[in-house]
């Protein structure tokens, strides 16, 4: 390969944060090369140093960040002595950068047209008329319909997918030869994710290079030729996508691959490479836990009309069963979950819990049975009182019942911690000291402390790294085998639902479009929407991933 094909040549990159006692070594001796026309994936969990690594390519450092490298060449020029002024010449014009979640990565107070225009004019003024035309052209290129009108809209007025496209339009405005996309699709629905990934792919096909940073191996695999795996600041493995996915050499890579939930992982442990079978679970179809029929919920929109969040939905959940509800944002799945949990009253239809009326009934009649159904949400830390210790968090729902002595509560807290496999010492910790996965365990422990019949998990693993997600999914399976709790599992992630659910519901625009056995629904979808969802889902094409 010719020398001028090399865009970035990095050898022995080290990044530290802080000084003295609080010094953190975040990137350790990392070396890589990026060439024109190739797409490179950088995979790792949060805290692995992947974002910090790619940001050094743009000279974007925090104030207390120290970057050292033996060799750091961009476009054949050493950048070791670069000042901010020199970096600014590269940023945007030769290397473009796309962050995740355009709602926060675009300025909410400026129109998208303004922001693309700004990117266009960042390196010396372009003629005003020419630049106005170029903005529309760029928005059109990234697939934003009606760019003339859309350019005057603010980020919050656009859907997630269009926002992300507008962000990309700004990043490619000056036609950079390398695009760095840092978790560009993390907040997006699968069908939108597929569109954005295609857009990035088309940049690559135009001869530009792409670095895709993601915690999601399936996303990286669907776009990249080469994958770098990072862990704790070190590059643990590097190879072609083929090689990394099918013949991983390192334990860590194997663990990451094993942790990806999918149809193939059903009934097996995700958090170990060997995929041991999960404990036997029994579903008792004679014991109906939740029965909902003809559920409807409409909200008044802000200009007089009504928005139907859920329409004519029916749900049945049996003892020991996991019911998966999948759908994209706005599909009404969370509203349905709240109605099942008795947190939102439906306008139509009824819900019964263990055969007794549950909703809509007066709250006073419901309150004494509230402990029967518990909710675990996406972000546990915001559902904890920050001043409470772990034991106080778990004990709170027990205290509400006023029927336990102090010792009993203490014992129940310990039992709950055992159940979620957290050490009992953690009872005295503040949730702030815990990692994301541990916090989610505390949230589950709190939900289980009152022996609920039903657990509603609303995107409960969506914010977690894949390996932590694997542990929590295994944990839920273990708990279900032990307690026969019924689980309503809401997720936008089809792989997760296929892995965990015994029964699945697909929702779109408030309707249940398809339901049934997950293998049936996902392998032989009958509704066109489900087909589209499945087609859009990036998967790891690997029979080899089956356990040996």
Partner 1 sequence: MSASQTVPQVRPALSSSGAGKSSYEVIREESRSEKARNLKGFVTFVMSRLVQAVFVVWSAVTLVFITIHLTPGDIVDSLLTDSEKNNAELRMRVIAEWGLDKPVVVQYFGYLGKLLHGDFGTSYAQKKSVNAIFAEQFSATLQLTIVAAIIAVVVALIGSLLISGKTNAVVRSLYKGTELTLLSTPPFWFGILLLFVFSFRLGWFPVAGDSSFKSLVLPALAIGIPMGGNLSQILRQGIAKSEEQPYTLTSLSRGLSPAAIRLRHSLRHASIPALTVGGMMAGGLLGGAVITEQVFGRPGLGQIAVNAINTKDLPVILAVAFVSSLVFVIASTVVDVLYYLVDPRLKIAHTEE
Residues 240-259 close enough to bind partner 1 by CB under 8 A: none
d(C-alpha 417, C-alpha 152), whole Å: 53
Q: What is the smallest separation between the CB atom of 429 and partner 1, expressed in angstroms?
A: 28
C-beta of 157 vs 408, nearer to partner 1 = 157
Q: Are 306 and 427 in contact (CB under 8 A)?
A: no
Spatial CA neighbour of 315 closest among 345, 301, 336 = 336
How far is it, in rounded angstroms, from Cα 46 to Cα 436?
10
From candidates 18, 37, 47, 267, binder to partner 1 by CB under 8 A: 267
Q: Is 273 in the site for partner 1 (CB under 8 A)?
A: no
Minimum CB separation of residue 293 from partner 1 in Å reads: 5
Q: Please name the residue that has the structure tokens 């940049």.
A: 203
**Contact residue for partner 1 among 318, 384, 426, 522 (CB under 8 A):** 318
Nearest to 138 by CA among 113, 155, 158: 113
Looking up tokens 């709170």 gives 396
Which of 160, 184, 452, 510 touches partner 1 by CB under 8 A? 510
Pick the piece of the chain touching partner 1 (CB under 8 A) from 185-193, 206-214, 229-237, 313-321.
313-321
Q: Which two tokens stand for residue 161?
A: 């997918």
Q: Which of 273, 414, 509, 532 binds partner 1 (CB under 8 A)?
A: 509
Which listed range, 233-241, 278-286, 371-379, 530-538, lies at the site for partner 1 (CB under 8 A)?
278-286
For 232, counting Cβ atoms within 10 Å of its Cβ (0-12 exposed, 13-18 middle, 19+ buried), the class is middle
Question: Which of the ranges 24-32, 314-322, 421-429, 435-443 carries the binding residues for partner 1, by CB under 8 A?
Answer: 314-322
Q: What angle do CA 351, 374, 392 make, to 5 degrees?
A: 155
When binding is defined by CB under 8 A, the residue of 156, 274, 424, 482 that contacts partner 1 is 156
Which residues does 99 contact at the CB level (< 8 Å), separation at least 6?
A: 105, 167, 182, 183, 184
270's CB contacts (< 8 A; 6+ apart) are 258, 259, 260, 261, 469, 470, 471, 473, 474, 499
Looking at the Cβ atoms of 339 and 512, the one nearer to partner 1 is: 512
Shorter beta-carbon distance to partner 1: residue 170 or 437: 170
Q: Is 171 in the site for partner 1 (CB under 8 A)?
A: yes
- Distance separating alpha carbons of residues 22 and 98, to the nearest angstrom: 30
CB of 247 to partner 1, least distance (A): 24
| 108 forms part of the interface with partner 1 (CB under 8 A) | yes
- Shortest distance, CB of residue 351 to partner 1, whole angstroms? 12
SS3 185: coil
Kindly tell me which residue out of 316, 348, 396, 478 binds partner 1, with binding defined by CB under 8 A.
Answer: 316
- The reply on whether position 66 binds partner 1 by CB under 8 A is no
Q: Looking at beta carbons only, is 311 or 377 nearer to partner 1? A: 311
Q: Considering only residues 125 through 154, tell me which ones interact with partner 1, judged by CB under 8 A.
A: 149-150, 152-154
**Residue 505 interacts with partner 1 (CB under 8 A): yes or no:** yes
CB 315, min distance to partner 1, A: 7
176 contacts 93 by C-beta, under 8 angstroms = yes
Choose which of 274, 285, 356, 428 interacts with partner 1 (CB under 8 A).
285
CB 97, min distance to partner 1, A: 3
278 sits near partner 1 (criterion: CB under 8 A): yes
Shortest reach from residue 203's CB to partner 1, in Å: 16
Site string for partner 1, 70-99 (x = CB under 8 A): ------------------xxxxxx--xx-x
Which of 312, 348, 354, 379 touches partner 1 (CB under 8 A)? 312
Lookup result for tokens 């390196």: 123
User: Is residue 174 close enough to count as binding partner 1 by CB under 8 A?
Assistant: yes
Burial of 128 (0-12, 13-18, 19+ CB in 10 A): exposed
Asked whether position 311 contacts partner 1 by CB under 8 A, the answer is yes
Adjacent-strand bridge partners of 359: 351
Residue 237 sits at φ, ψ, to 5 deg, of -155, 150
Contacts with 162 (C-beta within 8 Å, 6 or more apart), sequence order: 144, 150
Q: Record the tokens describing residue 395, joined without a space.
A: 């004990």
CB of 317 to partner 1, least distance (A): 10
Q: How far apart are CA 496 and CA 275, in angstroms?
A: 15
Measured CA to CA, the distance from residue 230 to residue 236 in angstroms comes to 6
User: What is the C-alpha separation between 29 and 11, in angstroms, rounded?
Assistant: 8
- Alpha carbons 285 and 302: distance in angstroms, whole number: 43
- Distance (Å, rounded) from C-alpha 82 to C-alpha 293? 66
Supply 363's token pair: 């709250």
- Where b means 16+ CB within 10 Å and e means fewer, 454-481 reads bbbbbbbbbbbbbbbbbbbbbbbbbbbe
| Interacting residue with partner 1 among 49, 170, 248, 342 (CB under 8 A) | 170
Q: Total binding residues for partner 1 by CB under 8 A?
A: 78
Give the Cα separation of 180 and 200 in Å (integer).
10
Site residues for partner 1, 511-530, by CB under 8 A, read: 511-513, 515-517, 527
293 binds partner 1 (CB under 8 A): yes
Binding mask 321-340 for partner 1 (x = CB under 8 A): ---------x----------
Tracing tokens 């094409």 back to the chain, one arrives at 541
Binding mask 443-462 for partner 1 (x = CB under 8 A): --------------------
Least distance from C-beta 190 to partner 1, angstroms?
A: 18
Among 228, 315, 340, 422, binds partner 1 (CB under 8 A): 315
| Residue among 309 and 420 whose Cβ is closer to partner 1 | 309
């Amino acid at each position: 390969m010719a020398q001028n094909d090399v865009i970035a040549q990095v050898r022995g990159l080290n990044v530290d944060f802080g000084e003295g006692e609080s010094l953190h070594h975040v990137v350790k001796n990392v070396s890589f090369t990026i060439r024109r026309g190739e797409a490179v994936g950088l995979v790792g969990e949060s805290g692995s140093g992947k974002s910090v690594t790619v940001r050094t390519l743009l000279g974007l450092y925090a104030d207390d960040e120290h970057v050292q490298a033996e060799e750091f060449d961009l476009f054949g020029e050493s950048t070791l002595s670069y000042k901010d002024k020199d970096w600014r010449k590269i940023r945007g014009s030769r290397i473009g950068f796309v962050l995740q979640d355009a709602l926060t990565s675009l300025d909410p107070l400026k129109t998208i047209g303004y922001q693309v225009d700004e990117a266009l004019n960042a390196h010396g003024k372009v003629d005003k008329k020419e630049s106005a035309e170029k903005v529309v052209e760029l928005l059109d290129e990234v697939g934003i319909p009606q760019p003339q009108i859309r350019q005057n809209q603010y980020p919050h007025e656009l859907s997630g997918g269009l926002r992300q496209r507008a962000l990309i339009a700004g990043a490619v405005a000056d036609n950079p030869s390398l695009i760095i996309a840092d978790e560009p699709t993390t907040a997006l629905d699968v069908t939108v994710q597929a569109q954005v990934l295609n857009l990035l792919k088309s940049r690559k096909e135009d001869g530009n290079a792409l670095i895709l940073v993601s915690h999601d191996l399936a996303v990286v695999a669907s776009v990249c030729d080469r994958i770098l795996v990072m862990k704790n600041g070190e590059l643990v493995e590097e190879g072609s996508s083929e090689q990394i996915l099918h013949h991983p050499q390192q334990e860590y890579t194997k663990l990451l691959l094993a942790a990806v939930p999918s149809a193939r992982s059903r009934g097996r442990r995700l958090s170990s490479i060997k995929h041991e079978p999960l404990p036997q679970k029994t579903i008792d179809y004679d014991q109906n836990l939740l029965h909902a029929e003809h559920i409807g919920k409409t909200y008044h929109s802000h200009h007089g009309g009504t928005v139907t969040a859920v329409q004519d939905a029916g749900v049945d959940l049996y003892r020991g069963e996991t019911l998966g509800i999948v759908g994209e944002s706005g599909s009404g799945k969370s509203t349905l979950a709240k109605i099942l949990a008795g947190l939102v009253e439906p306008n139509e239809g009824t819900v019964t819990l263990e055969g007794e009326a549950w909703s809509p009934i007066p709250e006073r009649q419901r309150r004494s049975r509230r402990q029967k159904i518990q909710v675990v949400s996406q972000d546990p830390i915001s559902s904890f009182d920050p001043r409470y210790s772990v034991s106080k968090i778990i004990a709170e729902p027990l205290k509400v019942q006023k029927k336990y002595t102090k010792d009993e509560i203490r014992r129940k807290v310990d039992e709950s911690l055992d159940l979620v496999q957290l050490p009992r010492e953690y009872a005295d910790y503040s949730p702030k000291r815990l990692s994301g996965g541990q916090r989610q365990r505390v949230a589950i422990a709190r939900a289980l402390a009152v022996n609920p019949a039903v657990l509603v998990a609303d995107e409960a693993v969506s914010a977690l790294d894949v390996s932590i997600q694997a542990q929590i999914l295994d944990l839920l399976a273990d708990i279900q085998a032990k307690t026969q709790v019924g689980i309503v599992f809401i997720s936008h992630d089809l792989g997760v639902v296929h892995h965990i659910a015994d029964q699945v519901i697909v929702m779109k625009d408030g309707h249940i479009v398809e339901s049934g056995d997950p293998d049936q629904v996902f392998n032989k979808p009958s509704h066109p929407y489900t087909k589209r969802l499945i087609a859009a889902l990036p998967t790891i094409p690997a029979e080899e991933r089956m356990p040996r």
